[in-house]
Amino acid sequence: MLKQRSLFWIYFKKNRLAIAGASTISAIFLMAIFAHLIAPYDPGETDIATKLAPPSFKHLLGTDQLGRDVFSRMLYGSRVSLSVGFVAVSISLFIGIIVGSIAGYYGKIVDSVLMRFVDIMMCFPAFFLMLTIIALLGPKIHHVMIVIGATSWMGTARFVRAEFLSLRERDFVQAAKVLGISDKRIIFRHMLPNALAPVFVTATIDMATAILIEASLSFLGFGVQPPAPSWGNILTEGRIYIFDAWWLTLFPGLAILITVLSFNLLGEGLRDALDPRLREEGIK
């Protein structure tokens, strides 16, 4: 195990783009955690006298149509966007791991039934399904988290199933069955830890997707509702003033772009470092 971790770190740190992505994500998380200390203004504080003020030393990213400081709102908005991403991905991983592990371990009829259900879920246009459910439940932040997580677990289930199909014929699994160890213990204690490598990769990419979906939903008015700041609703408020106050769309758009790109770069780096075949190709 120690040797595997050493090999992983050796190959991961060689990937400069992945290191850059991880560093950027760490910086964004620190800014979100300490937003209350970094933000120069209250994100809800209005000042009509300074509305639509361009970036300056007083307001680093300018102000919006109500005179609120965009930099402060961006910092607090990062908390919302990252929280939605983390909770949604946690829900997605939980469902995907359960479905994938059961399908891969038991196989046959159980596998067939569960995989057909996965196929049915993948047939639905996910974004429109999210819009429909949120329209029925109401555009609240916890509804957004649950809906994103509950409609994006299928990829994780497929990855875990594939790993379990490979692992269930291994000697240590057969030995555990002979010893009379329960299926639950074999699945979660012996097999699952060996199947988590692709899950870590897909989790980082799903995190980027969840942040992008939250921003899209908020932009359309189905996500986080004002006055609570999120990158998506800051962006949608700014589109009305796109020709008069360019900073209201530029900075939230850049924040979403940089965050999503960083998670994707980190995911690619993890994939390259965890996959032995890709490591061998890198050596060649």
Q: What is the mean pLDDT of the chain?
A: 84
According to DSSP, the residues that pair with 63 across neighbouring strands are: 69
Taking 60 as the threshold, does the pLDDT of residue 278 lie above it? no
Tokens 């999210």 appear where? 130
Specify the pLDDT at position 284. 45
pLDDT tens digits, residue range 20-64?
A: 999 999 999 999 999 989 999 988 888 888 888 899 898 899 998
Contacts of 68 (CB under 8 A, 6+ apart): 41, 43, 44, 45, 46, 47
Q: What are phi and psi of 193, to 5 degrees?
A: -60, -30
Give the span between the Cα atoms of 100 and 168, in whole angstroms: 13
pLDDT tens digits, residue range 217-268?
A: 887 878 777 778 888 888 888 888 888 888 888 999 999 999 999 999 988 8
Our CA dihedral for 253, 258, 264, 266, rounded to 10 degrees, sits at: -160
pTM for the model stands at 0.84
| DSSP tag of 69 | B
Which of 78, 87, 83, 81 has the alpha carbon at shortest distance from 43? 78
Question: Can you say whether residue 74 is alpha, beta or left, with left for phi > 0 and alpha for psi between -120 and 50 degrees?
Answer: alpha
Domain residue extents for the chain? 2-283
Banded model confidence at residue 190, pLDDT cuts 50, 70, 90: confident
Task: State the CATH architecture for 2-283.
Answer: Orthogonal Bundle (1.10)
